[in-house]
Amino acid sequence: MLNPLNLWRGFLARPNDDHIKVFGVALLVAMISAAFVSTAAVALKPLQDAHLEAERAARMAQMLDTLPGLRAVMEEAGVDTLETRVVDLATGAFVPDIDPADYDVQAAASDPEQSTAIPPDVDVAGLRRRADYALVHLLERDGALLLIVLPVEGTGYQSTIRAMLALEPDLNTIAALTITEQGETPGIGARVEDAAWLALWPGRQVADEDGNIVISVVRGTATGPYQVDAISGATVTSNGVANMLRYWLGDHGYGPFLDRLTTEGL
C-alpha cells in the first residue's frame, strides 16, 4: 500500500530544478492561494454587502436632502425614511407576501427561475435579464403620493451603472437622480456622480404628451424639457444613464406599475 507520507518525502527529496517538483510546488501554491482567496471572499461577503447597503442608504438620504422641503414634509408625516415595497414588474401590482428586507434583486436577476429575459429590441439598457420583482420606495401622506424612488441600472462604457431615480407625484417629472454604483473611467465617465451633472436632471420630463419615454442626453446644450447635457468626453456613459431610464420607465420595466399608480393610486 502506498504511504502518502513516503510519497511526500520522495517529492521533497527531488532536485529543485526537477520538472515534476517545480510543477507540483506551483500547483500547491495555486491551490492554497485559491483556497485562501475563496475563504476570505465568503467570510467578507456579509461585510461587503452591509457596506454597500449602508452606502446606498447614505446616497438615498443625500438625495432626499437635495429636494426642497422634503425633510419637513417627512417630519410632518411622522416618518424618517421612505416605505419600501415589492412590485411585480409584469403586472405592476404590489406583492404583499414578500418582505422587502429579504428580497435580493440582483440575485433574482441572475436566477432564471426568478427573472425574465429582456427582448433585444427593448434592451436599450444592455441588461439581458431583469428580476421579476423590484423594490420601490414611496413617500405618502394621507393616501396621496408625495414622492417615489425607483432603483434603476444599465450598462455604461465599461461597467454596470446603478442609480436611484426620484419622480414627483405626476410620475413624469424627475425630482432627483443619484448614482449609487459605477465603475466608469475615473475623471471621464465617472463624472456621472458629479453633483453638477446630477443637478441637471431635476425638472426634466421623462415622457412626451403621448406617453412615449423620450428622456435623452444631447451633445452641446439641451434645448427641451426631455433633454440633459451629456458629459463632455463621456458620451457613451451619458447615453448609458439615459438608456437605463428609458428602459426602466418603459413597458418592460416600471411602466405597468406607474400606469397602475396613475389609474388606481396607492
pLDDT-derived band of residue 118, with 50, 70 and 90 as boundaries? very high
Q: What is the pLDDT of residues 209-259, one digit of tens each?
A: 999 999 999 988 888 999 999 999 999 999 999 999 999 999 999 999 999
Most confident range, picked from 23-27, 57-61, 256-260: 256-260
Whether the pLDDT of residue 45 is over 90: the answer is no
Report pLDDT for 187: 92
pTM of structure: 0.76
DSSP string, 20-87: HHHHHHHHHHHHHHHHHHHHHHHHHHHHHHHHHHHHHHHHHHHHHHTSTTHHHHHHHHT-SSPEEEEE
Residue ranges covered by each domain of the chain: 4-36, 68-264
Cβ atoms 231, 210 nearer than 8 A: no
Residue type, 120: P
pLDDT-derived band of residue 34, with 50, 70 and 90 as boundaries? confident
Beta-carbon count within 10 A of 82 CB? 19
Cβ atoms 191, 231 nearer than 8 A: yes
Cβ atoms 251, 211 nearer than 8 A: no
Rama region for 75: left / alpha / beta (φ>0; ψ in -120 to 50; rest): alpha
According to DSSP, the residues that pair with 133 across neighbouring strands are 88
The three cell numbers of residue 103 are: 428580497
Q: What is the pLDDT of residues 158-200, one digit of tens each?
A: 999 999 999 999 999 999 898 989 999 999 999 999 989 999 9
Whether the pLDDT of residue 60 is over 90: the answer is no
pLDDT-derived band of residue 42, with 50, 70 and 90 as boundaries? confident
Report pLDDT for 145: 87
Residue 25 and residue 7: Cα distance in Å, rounded? 14
> Helix 19-65 and helix 70-77: axis angle, to 10°?
80
Residue type, 227: Q
Query: Which residues neighbour 182 within 8 Å (Cβ) at sequence distance 6 or greater?
Result: 156, 159, 160, 161, 162, 189, 190, 192, 193
Residue type, 9: R
Whether the pLDDT of residue 1 is over 60: the answer is no
Nearest to 80 by CA among 55, 57, 105: 57
Distances (CA, A) of 77 to 61, 188, 260: 17, 41, 24
Whether the pLDDT of residue 93 is over 70: the answer is yes
Mean pLDDT of the chain: 87
Q: Average pLDDT in the 126-140 region?
A: 94
